[in-house]
């Protein structure tokens, strides 16, 4: 019998946010990605959310001394570590489904930037460009998935909780101060039964002591 995991999270946006879309705009070099249904509402794509949480989970588990795969190297993924179990790999489909997060209640403006040479530590000549930035107080994220046991669903919830707390910036231009956020609320339930905060903490502590992973 499959067990349904549902997660609702809220992040407080500390700064503006930018994720480059395919849409072009007059006088804007880097426009925001928008909802495909009406082409107007800025969004954080589901793929961006998944990749960001995976990166955060990998970084955190490695900090605890665990061996996990690197999502940027799909050809070397093991298919067996905790991150691959939850987020998937080229040979293993993820049990999770992420939804786009809308920035419907905010506003957008355009920020001017200049390309910098990290080697010379100076600005490049004639490299001025414009970036569209979305501003909103909170970002709501919805995740759901199906697991073979309640224990697997709880473990996935704990890993997502850890990743959400450890993540600090999402999207493009993070080094320029965009996309900074902090976790405000994390609510998880399995088959409609809410997981208590102490359960998430206990599961998180159990992940710290988990040692199996890829060689």
The full 3-state SS of 75-86, as one line of letters, equals: HHCCCCCHHHHH
192 burial type by CB count under 10 A (0-12 exposed, 13-18 middle, 19+ buried)? exposed
What pLDDT score was predicted for residue 79? 62
Residue for token digits 């061996």?
A: 67
Q: Is the dihedral of CA 107, 11, 142, 187 positive or negative?
A: negative
- Joined tokens for residue 111: 């920020």
Compute the average pLDDT of residues 3-28. 90
pLDDT tens sequence across 43-73: 999 999 999 999 999 999 998 888 888 877 7
Judge residue 23's burial from the number of C-beta atoms within 10 Å of its C-beta, 0-12 exposed, 13-18 middle, 19 or more buried: middle
Q: Using the predicted structure, report yes or no on whether residue 215 has a pLDDT greater than 50.
A: no
Instruction: Read off the pLDDT of each residue in 93-106 and give the average, rounded to a whole number.
Output: 95
Quick one: average pLDDT of 23-32?
A: 80
The proportion of the chain whose per-residue pLDDT surpasses 90, expressed as a percent, equals: 56
Given this model, what pLDDT does residue 197 score? 87
Name the one residue in this structure whose structure tokens are 């998937």: 88
- Report pLDDT for 46: 97
| Three-class DSSP category at 31 | coil
- Helices 197-208, 150-166: crossing angle, 10 deg rounding: 90
The string of pLDDT tens digits covering residues 106-155 is: 899 988 766 666 676 666 666 788 889 999 999 999 999 999 999 999 99
Nearest-angstrom CA–CA distance, 47 and 36: 14
Mean per-residue pLDDT, 28-42: 88
User: Lowest-pLDDT range, 98-107, 134-143, 197-206?
Assistant: 197-206
Number of H helices and E strands in the chain, helices first, is 4, 9
**Are 144 and 21 within 8 A, CB to CB?**
no
Residue 175 tokens, joined: 């080094």
In order of their start, the domains of the chain are: 3-24+42-104+139-209 (3.30.70)
Higher pLDDT, 48 or 1: 48
Residues 19-28 have a mean pLDDT of 80
Question: Are residues 43 and 103 in contact, defined by beta-carbon separation less than 8 angstroms?
Answer: yes
Is pLDDT at 169 greater than 70 in this prediction? yes
Give the Cα separation of 15 and 38 in Å (integer).
Answer: 25
d(CA 43, CA 103): 5
User: Is the pLDDT at 179 greater than 70, yes or no?
Assistant: yes
Share above pLDDT 70 across residues of the chain, in percent, rounded to a whole number:
90
pLDDT score of 186 more than 90: yes
Nearest by Cα to 52 from 22, 17, 24, 6: 17
């Amino acid at each position: 019998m499959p067990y349904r995991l549902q997660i609702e999270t809220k992040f407080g946006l500390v700064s503006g946010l930018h994720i480059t879309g395919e849409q072009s705009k007059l006088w804007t070099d880097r426009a925001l990605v928008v909802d495909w249904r009406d082409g107007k509402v800025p969004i954080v794509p589901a793929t961006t959310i998944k990749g960001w949480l995976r990166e955060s989970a990998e970084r955190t588990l490695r900090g605890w001394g665990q061996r996990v795969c690197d999502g940027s190297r799909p050809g070397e993924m093991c298919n067996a570590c905790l991150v691959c179990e939850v987020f998937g790999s080229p040979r293993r489909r993820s049990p999770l489904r992420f939804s786009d997060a809308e920035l419907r209640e905010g506003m957008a403006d355009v920020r001017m930037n200049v390309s910098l040479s990290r080697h010379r530590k100076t600005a490049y000549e004639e490299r001025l460009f414009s970036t569209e930035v979305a501003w909103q107080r909170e970002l709501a994220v919805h995740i759901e998935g199906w697991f073979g046991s309640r224990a697997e669903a709880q473990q996935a919830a704990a890993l997502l909780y850890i990743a959400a707390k450890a993540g600090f910036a999402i999207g493009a231009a993070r080094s320029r101060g965009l996309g900074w956020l902090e976790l405000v609320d994390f609510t998880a339930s399995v088959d409609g039964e809410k997981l208590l905060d102490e359960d998430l903490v206990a599961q998180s502590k159990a992940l710290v002591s988990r040692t199996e992973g890829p060689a």
